[in-house]
Chains A and B, each alone.
Chain A
Amino acid sequence: MSLTIILFILLAVLLIGALLWAARPIDHTVLSTDAVLTALTEEHHYCRLPKILQALQPEDTAFLGSRGFTPLRNQIRAERRRIALLYLDELQREYEMLLKASRVVAAMAPELIAMDEAERFKLNLRFALGCRYLRWKLRLGLEPQRAFGSLSEMSSGMALRLEMATTHIGEHAALNSDYSSILDEGDDWPQ
């Protein structure tokens, strides 16, 4: 059998696999407007980044080693790494919530979409990979300061895009006197 035929068959089989995955019913626990607001008003974890970074600095606990408390120093470092991992979980949860909120905003923007969705998708992938990379670094006891900074920047970027989107929607709402007609379009959605 030639390579061409194998490639065609392989692509078709891959598409069937992707179809089976993508056609599963979507979990319709869509965020309500209150849930979006609550998510955005929650305490934000990335503001604790400086403290976490400081706690991970080897110099912060080096004096314990020089004074003969090496086991204690190692224990403290392990504890701090564990806390950093928990912090990372929360950071990821927060980012995902922000992402969900931005999707809700995108779905509600009936005539314009301010966010660069492709870039957001790329950022999302980068964030997910960054988190995984950082987790491994922490588990292996390597210094993760630079990577933490990068993830924080991503959260910041996402927040800025959300602000842009909501600003445009707000402007649109103010300009459109019959705004309810747009929101009521839901009644005409396909049956």
Chain B
Amino acid sequence: MPETLNLRNAAWALTTTVELILLIYLVRRRFFRSHPFFSAYILIAILQSLLMAGTYGIWGFHSYRAWLIFWLSQLVVVTTRFTAVVEVTRRILSPFSGIWVLGRRILIAVAACVLAYAAALSKVYWYRLALNVDRGVELAIAAVIVALLLFARYYGLPVNPLDRSLCIGFCLYSCFYVINDSFFEKWVNAYASLWSFLDILTFLASLLIWIGAARADSVTVPARKIAAVSKEEYGRLSTELNVRLRHLNERLDRVPHSEDQHT
């Protein structure tokens, strides 16, 4: 057990350092302007680490106060993470207003369904309430991201590398969090230290993905445009499409009659 604790503390310190490096990248490359909620999320994650280090130092790892402070701070962190996911979603879909309206509805429905699924499956014990809510929200975040990427893929929407990496990092972390929580629910006592250690490791992996993307990406890289056409070209397209489609429909109208004649 002490080995696990030492390892966990080392991983924790490493994660906080990596968080700081990511924050520095976000500030230096001015990503905090394009991704304010994501930047706020990283800042809040760092503050949570500092808060918990102080809390565990004063009251110990297994105290009720530490438990309460952890879950309250976790509520803030998860809420900020959710807003960061919404931010990425908006960045990918909102340039296409028509698609954005539909996509928003679908993603809200996906999140609601997953939350309902998680609520239906979770056991109603007060001491597991925080864990169950957290797991449900993480599952919803993962499902929303997957649905978003599928949606973007279906419409061939451009997703810049940083946003794609944010999606991958958030989703992987959420999925591993759900798996980790599920094991924790089963072996709550024997698994506590390892649960915390694995949680830190998965978050560290996500941080490294984000740092890689932040290093490679730059705000000066122009966005890839999809079907951005000039006014004249667009007008020509619109008229031509109508003419051709009308012609196409006229031909289609004749198909059933021809079929009748032949059969």
Report A's interface with B, CB cutoff 8 A. Answer: 1-2, 4-5, 7-9, 11-13, 15-16, 18-19, 22-23, 25-28, 30-33, 36-37, 40-41, 44, 46-47, 49-51, 53-54, 57, 101, 103-113, 117-118, 121, 145, 149, 152, 155-156, 159-160, 162-163, 166-167, 169-170, 173, 179-180, 183, 185-186, 188-191
Q: How many A-B residue pairs lie within 8 Å, measured between CB atoms?
A: 222
Q: Does B101 contact A (CB under 8 A)?
A: yes
**B103 CB → nearest A CB, Å:** 9
Which of A28, A36, A109, A160 touches B158 (beta carbons < 8 Å)?
A: A28
Knowing A8-B139, A113-B101, say if A50 contacts B248 (CB, 8 Å): no
Do residues B182 and A5 form an inter-chain contact, with CB atoms below 8 A? Answer: yes
Interface residues of B in 190-247 (CB under 8 A from A): 219-231, 233-242, 244-246
Do residues A19 and B179 form an inter-chain contact, with CB atoms below 8 A? Answer: no
Which of B91, B183, B239, B241 touches A190 (beta carbons < 8 Å)?
A: B91
B-side contacts of A152, CB under 8 Å: 252, 255
Do residues A30 and B227 form an inter-chain contact, with CB atoms below 8 A? Answer: yes
B-side contacts of A159, CB under 8 Å: 245, 248-249, 252
Do residues B244 and A41 form an inter-chain contact, with CB atoms below 8 A? Answer: yes
A-B contact pairs, 20 of them (CB 8 A): A7-B121, A8-B179, A12-B178, A13-B175, A15-B139, A19-B142, A19-B171, A28-B224, A53-B262, A105-B241, A106-B98, A108-B229, A109-B97, A110-B96, A110-B98, A149-B259, A159-B249, A167-B242, A186-B223, A190-B92
B-side contacts of A28, CB under 8 Å: 156, 158, 224
Q: Does B28 contact A (CB under 8 A)?
A: no
Do residues B259 and A112 form an inter-chain contact, with CB atoms below 8 A? Answer: no
A-side contacts of B230, CB under 8 Å: 180, 183
**B217 CB → nearest A CB, Å:** 9
Q: Does B62 contact A (CB under 8 A)?
A: no
Q: Does B164 contact A (CB under 8 A)?
A: yes
Do residues B146 and A44 form an inter-chain contact, with CB atoms below 8 A? Answer: no
14 new A-B pairs (CB below 8 Å) besides A18-B146, A33-B236, A166-B241? A4-B121, A8-B121, A9-B182, A12-B179, A23-B164, A23-B168, A33-B237, A53-B259, A109-B98, A110-B96, A163-B242, A170-B242, A186-B226, A190-B223
Report B's interface with A, CB cutoff 8 A. Answer: 34, 91-92, 95-99, 101-102, 117-118, 121-123, 135, 139, 142-143, 145-146, 149-150, 152-160, 163-164, 167-168, 171-172, 175-176, 178-179, 181-183, 185-186, 219-231, 233-242, 244-246, 248-249, 251-252, 254-255, 258-259, 261-263
Do residues A8 and B135 form an inter-chain contact, with CB atoms below 8 A? Answer: yes
Knowing A16-B172, A183-B230, say if A54 contacts B224 (CB, 8 Å): no
Q: Which residue of A lies closest to B106 (CB)?
A: A118
Do residues B237 and A36 form an inter-chain contact, with CB atoms below 8 A? Answer: yes
Do residues B95 and A189 form an inter-chain contact, with CB atoms below 8 A? Answer: yes
Do residues A40 and B98 form an inter-chain contact, with CB atoms below 8 A? Answer: no
Q: How many angstroms between the C-alpha atoms of A117 and B255 in the bound complex?
A: 26
Do residues B121 and A163 form an inter-chain contact, with CB atoms below 8 A? Answer: no
Do residues B245 and A19 form an inter-chain contact, with CB atoms below 8 A? Answer: no
A-side contacts of B149, CB under 8 Å: 19, 22-23
Knowing A19-B149, A160-B249, say if A186 contacts B225 (CB, 8 Å): yes
B-side contacts of A117, CB under 8 Å: 102
Q: How many angstroms between the C-alpha atoms of A167 and B245 in the bound complex?
A: 10
Knowing A183-B234, A190-B163, say if A1 contacts B96 (CB, 8 Å): no
